[in-house]
Amino acid sequence: MTGDGTTSNVLIIGELLKQADLYISEGLHPRIVTEGFEAAKEKALEILEQVKITKEMDRETLLNVARTSLRTKVHRELADVLTEAVVDAVLAVKNPNEPIDLFMVEIMEMKHKTESDTK
């Protein structure tokens, strides 16, 4: 199963920091390393902009994204239960043609309930 990329990102960032530490220990100024990271970020964003594929953010696409992410964080059965609840909750607070306001999303602790009792 392919996940949401969290582990890959951690590994890449760890390696970048390891290499930066080597350069700094050899006398390179940290500001130069920072400028290099910034230049690499800008180039990566430029390339991603060129190769991106526009996809309609319909309910089915959102379900697939949520399911993929949740299955890497909780067990499969719970992920399948939560997927629709999460997507429906986000769609309920989303205004058309605007980014999702994450301040409209609240996580509440349920006392004496199980994780699958969510609504």
Say whether pLDDT at 104 is over 80: no
Contact, 6 vs 72, CB < 8 A?
yes
> Could you read off the pLDDT of 41-79 as tens digits, one per residue?
999 999 999 999 988 888 999 999 999 889 888 888 899
**Average pLDDT of the segment spanning 1-19:** 88
Give yes or no: residues 35 and 70 share one domain: no
pLDDT value for 36:
97
Q: CA 21, CA 12: separation in Å to the nearest integer? A: 14
What is the domain extent for residue 33? Answer: 6-51
Say how many domains are in the chain: 2
- For 28-61, give the DSSP string: --HHHHHHHHHHHHHHHHHHHHHH-------HHH
Instruction: Assign 78 to helix, strand or coil.
Output: helix
21 found inside a domain: yes
State residue 89 phi and psi, 5-degree precision: -65, -45
